[in-house]
Structure 1
């Protein structure tokens, strides 16, 4: 009899990933409005704008009274401003359109084995939830990608006010699940935010490592997932 009863999952780059780089999507939106802005420049500007906004207004501005739509509008507009676009009306229109576009499965794809692994876990009797540093759109994205039905609940950093690796987001998940840490495992792709943060609370955790990640801290092999398809074999050894 397995001790584990619940599995919590990270979302982005664990179950779902963007179909193309952000800069490519932004460049396509600019082209639709007659603007030629290089995708590479937009990617660089996005990283700068996103980083600055995250430092100034953590958790999508939840503590400062911003909505995630406002938060992202600022990021999008600043991305284009840094790339040389200054027409306020065009900036506002692109920000609105891109916020909605990134709710769509047109911009997201499943990682290999995601649906099959979730289905097998469900068949084995595991209850499951999502714990993600994401905004309110995650529910819609999971529905669009036909994954939402696998999960009892979805916890985002915007909703809880806590972002991984803050253990309080995991504590909320355990409270909703009604299990002690030792009966839950978390699966994610980030060493600090997912793997270490869950273990710090006494949960089990598994680290998804994709081939292109490069050098990372040493993790016991039995905790590493080369693919999502390795999960159930790892769980059986807990």
Structure 2
């Protein structure tokens, strides 16, 4: 059995997922303002706008004087403009509404097995924290989805100043937890940002991967979680 004291968790697509594609949410907001745009168009525009903003202002513009709210509002405005919506007043209103909507459980849902797994980990005496490439809305979202109480700390990339896979966000989490890396395991769905990055600082890693997704060859089978409910078995076998 692995001698673990602390478990750290990724959030998006590990514990929570969007209830519907971004394009669907944006199209619904547009309809509420009498604007008709196809969800597929908005999804494609969002990918383009998000990618451009991330390259220009990494990590929500934290190092360049932007607030994450301004960063996101600009992404949403650009998404609508790329999709052919140009009336400034409506675009601004929709962007501000969507920023607020994505703070809540209205747009997020807990992945199957996540709540049960977190409860079982707490019952087994594991301390837990979050390491997520997310902005400062994450605390509220976790609370709204009834998961926040499981965690001693929630470390976002916006707060840390570094994004996964940068080792410094993991080192900051280790300081917050006060536990040496060989007694910590990180759980996430991304090979580079979660599994490999955690192992690079000496932590254990578990990679959440549905069977159909395939796994990088250097990940041993005992480190792969077909579902979150496999986690405690993997820890006990380790």
Residue aligning to 2:156: 156
Residue aligning to 1:217: 216
Point out 4+ residue stretches in structure 1 off by more than 6 angstroms. none
Residue aligning to 1:87: 87
Residue aligning to 1:187: 187
User: CA contact under 8 A between 2:209 and 2:215: conserved in structure 1?
Assistant: no
Residue aligning to 2:69: 69
Answer with 216-225 or 43-52: which moved more: 216-225
When residues 162 and 85 of structure 1 are mapped into structure 2, their CA distance, relative to the original with a 3 A threshold, is same
Distance 1:18 1:198 in 2: 25
After TM superposition, the score normalised by the length of structure 2 is: 0.98
Q: For residues 97-116 of structure 1, what are the structure 2 equivalents within 5 Å?
A: 97-116=97-116
Distance 1:112 1:75 in 2: 30
Residue aligning to 1:233: 233
Aligned to 1:36, the other structure's residue is in SS state coil
Distance 2:56 2:211 in 1: 33
The answer as to 2:197 corresponding to 1:204 is: no
Distance 1:200 1:184 in 2: 13
Residue aligning to 2:144: 144
Q: What's the CA shift string for 1:114-150, capped at 9, x where partnerless?
A: 0000000000000000000000000000000000000
Aligned to 2:179, the other structure's residue is in SS state coil
Aligned to 2:194, the other structure's residue is in SS state helix
Distance 1:217 1:114 in 2: 24
Distance 1:29 1:125 in 2: 43
The answer as to 2:54 corresponding to 1:24 is: no
**Unaligned segments of structure 1, at least 5 residues:** none
Distance 1:52 1:196 in 2: 26
The answer as to 2:42 corresponding to 1:42 is: yes
Aligned to 2:35, the other structure's residue is in SS state coil
After TM superposition, the score normalised by the length of structure 1 is: 0.98
Aligned to 1:119, the other structure's residue is in SS state helix
Distance 1:98 1:87 in 2: 16
Distance 2:160 2:46 in 1: 25
Aligned to 1:97, the other structure's residue is in SS state helix
Residue aligning to 1:58: 58
Distance 1:67 1:215 in 2: 37
**Unaligned segments of structure 2, at least 5 residues:** none
Give 1:211 shift: 4.6
Residue aligning to 2:178: 178
Q: What's the CA shift string for 1:207-237, capped at 9, x where partnerless?
A: 001355x344222110000000000000112
